[in-house]
Amino acid sequence: MQFVITAHDGENMLERRMAVRARHLENMAKVKGKVLCAGGLLDEEGKMKGSVLVIDFESRELLDEYLETEPYITERVWETVEVERMNVVILNGEKVGK
């Protein structure tokens, strides 16, 4: 089951984001095979202001367990986090879903 996670940083969080970023990337590496796509949302100046992840977990409950360990959540970098189910149809130019 794929999910798209859209998260926006709180006000003036760039410095905290950068301080936490290594832990965030280490945490994502623990679920490496589940992350289909991930990256930072950028403001007009090219500075990170949030994140988007496309991730594959067997259930929403397992995704929620992962999110409980997400440093950008535990360190309150992300102010809002929206999770929606997604049907990944094309991945790396190849049809993988219906």
Could you tell me if 20 and 72 are in contact, meaning their C-beta atoms sit under 8 angstroms apart? yes
Mean pLDDT of the chain: 95
What's the pTM? 0.90
| Fold observed for domain 2-88 | Alpha-Beta Plaits (3.30.70)
- Is the confidence at residue 98, as pLDDT, over 90? no
- Is the confidence at residue 92, as pLDDT, over 90? no
Cα–Cα distance, 52 to 9 (Å, whole number):
11
pLDDT attached to residue 51: 97
Which tops the pLDDT comparison, 52 or 96?
52
Rounded mean pLDDT, 55-77: 96
Q: Taking the domains of the chain in order of start, what are their residue ranges?
A: 2-88
35-42 β-sheet, strand order? 35-42, 48-56, 2-9, 78-86
